[in-house]
Amino acid sequence: MCGIVGYIGDKKAAPIVHQNLKRLEYRGYDSCGIATYSGSSRSSSSILLKKEVGMIDSIHEEVNLDGLPGNIGIGHTRWATHGGVTKENAHPHTSCNGKIALVHNGIISNYLELKAMLEKKGHRFKSQTDTECIVHLIEEKYDGCGRNIEYATIAALKEIKGTYATIIISADDPDMLICARNESPLLLGIGENEMYVGSDIASFLKHTTKAVPLDDGEYAVVTKSGYRIKDIQSGRELDKEILEIDWSDEAAKKEGYEHFMLKEIHEQPQTIANALNVYPEDIQKLAGMIDEAKTVYMIAAGTSLHAAIVSEYWFSNLCGKVVYAVDSSELVNKGVVDRDTLVISITQSGETYDTLAAMRFAKHRGAKTATIVNVIGSTATRMADHFILQSSGIEISVCATKTFTSQLVILLRTALELARMQGRDVSKIEAELSKCSEYIKEVFKSQDKIKDVAKEHFCVKNYIYIGKGINLPSALEGALKFKEITYNHAEGMSGGLLKHGTISLIDSDMHTVAVIPAAGENRQKMMSNIQEVKARGGVVIGITSGEPVPQCDANILVPGCSEIISPIVFAPAYQLLAYYTAVSLGRNVDKPRALAKSVTVE
């Protein structure tokens, strides 16, 4: 995810903004920029700006980021989500008259219609980003709001749909900056006659340990002497608690979490919200390509393959469409690929060797290709006929967590769009999907229970994960997470397959983890599988939706939800079980042995 910072005070802003951006480099980025305003005769009419593609140090060496004058400034490290990695697409973005600048983290889902409206009114866009529509919309509102940047910003935000953390400065209102948040983190840092803004505490921890986090739907007017926080919709002023932060620099980068993996698990409510706001036009185009194709393959490896397997159930159950999930390395061996074929790759990095090789194989045979990917400008995005950016932000831990649930949301949105194209009513599923971020937050309330279960059973060396129907891939992914970071044996399978050989392994050193939906036939079948294990003296840990299962030796509860969305809701529970077991075993959670974040070799 992008890093954003702001400063206002008596000191020169640019060096502070520069260094605060440096403290957010761990988040990952492909370009950066800084904007300031000084009010000097040389710059009295507009904002001063320096931005470029590349790393902060190399950009600073080229353009001297510290050289910008002024005591107010904003900065941004961009992780591209819409528009390529170019100087024009780098932040900050400015208004037509050059008097307003902003930085933004998030996705504006209605930007296309906003852009079309603004272009008709004469606004000139310089980038391909969704972000630029915000600054032009503020400029459009400015005269109508009495030339007051606060009122213009709020009027603009009320018309924006999507997620954002944003900071705005204006040459006409040079004694303040405006910042706002909706489903993307943003905090104020309180100094002595100076104020800081950052997308996380690490950005300004060197300068102050006093912070005020904004909540969704809030904005702040910040001056060097203080701040006012208000509700965007009502304008009501809010009294917010000031937090005293007692973190080391490294802990600040992890936002107080012991490991990046735990932090990224807890980022899933936000990254799911991001995936829900991915542009509908991109989803519609992919659904149309699936509809037109005679044969559709979903190719992926590892965790992404499990996301693809979940999608097989969604497309068959919701759309009556057969989609084949295939291990990328095996498409060349069993795929029947021609001009009537669509091959959709799912790859977090966009650089996975086997997946790229399968895409080349498909293109060579005339097939259409698409990709769901987390890194713009990656090889997969350049190779595919169509790509969708999942907007998860950088994932530092080798073990994939938030990228998996983001992929699931995009795949389910695509299946729902295809079903809608077929005239089916999917409104109930869409309504429940919109609640997934809240369901995930509910899972976190069981975190202490999951930790206790892990501590009780971490000495066991072998695990079987079982699931049924759409949660067979949940069992596969749960087992993968477990063996990746605990180094203990785990294998996933369907509950029905358990009795075809594997059940003979049940003993005191082979526990079973059962993924149990809230209701229906598959819950009853899982009950039978649990009884089979218990009859042989086995221990069963239930990851259970809704009501606990008395036959299980331990129940890790997740919210009751429909089976169709349950693979998303179950994910953080088995991720946390793997995490706390690995911690109990003293493993290197973020960098497990012999594994790499992106497998770029054969």
So which residues are the catalytic ones?
2, 597
Question: From CA 226, how far away is CA 100, in angstroms rounded?
Answer: 21
Which neighbouring-strand residues pair with 490? 463
In angstroms, the CA 350 to CA 376 distance is 8
* Alpha-carbon distances of 427 from 84, 416, 431, 433, rounded to whole Å: 34, 9, 6, 10
Nearest CA among 477, 473, 462, 455 for reference residue 554: 455
Contact (CB, 8 A) for 409 and 437? no
What is the CA 18 to chain-centroid distance, rounded?
A: 25
> What are the angstrom distances between the C-alpha of 277 and each of 107, 390, 394, 431?
7, 10, 18, 14
Q: Which two tokens stand for residue 572?
A: 């953080």
CA 391 vs. chain centroid, Å, equals 5
∠59-61-65 over CA atoms, to 5°?
Answer: 65
Q: Print burial letters for 112-142: b (CB count within 10 Å at least 16), e (below 16).
A: eebbeebeeeebeeebebbbbbbbbbbbbbb
- In angstroms, the CA 394 to CA 22 distance is 16
- Tokens representing 153? 């910003």
Burial 17-55 (b: 16+ CB within 10 A, else e): bbbbbbbbbbbbbbbbbbbbbbeeeebeeebbbbbbbbe
For residue 407, which amino acid is it? Answer: Q
C-alpha radius of gyration, the chain, whole number: 25
DSSP H/E element including 443: helix 436-444
Q: How many Å apart are CA 272 and CA 262, to the nearest integer?
A: 16
Amino acid at 133: C
Q: Return the DSSP state at 209.
A: S
Could you say which DSSP state residue 92 is in?
P
CA distances from 278 to 25, 200, 290, 537 (A): 24, 23, 18, 48
Question: Taking the CB of residue 461, how many other CB atoms lie within 10 A of it?
Answer: 13
Helix (H) or strand (E) holding 176: strand 173-182
- Give the DSSP letter of residue 348: S
Which amino acid appears at position 388 of this protein?
A: I
Round to the nearest angstrom and report the end-to-end CA distance of the chain.
29
Inter-residue contact 567 to 474 (CB < 8 Å): yes
Measured CA to CA, the distance from residue 171 to residue 392 in angstroms comes to 34
If you ran DSSP here, which 8-state letter would residue 108 be given? Answer: B
CA torsion sign for 565, 347, 109, 317 is negative
Q: Is 248 exposed, middle or buried (0-12, 13-18, 19+ CB in 10 A)?
A: exposed
**Rounded to an integer, what distance in angstroms lies between the CA atom of residue 563 and that of residue 317?**
12
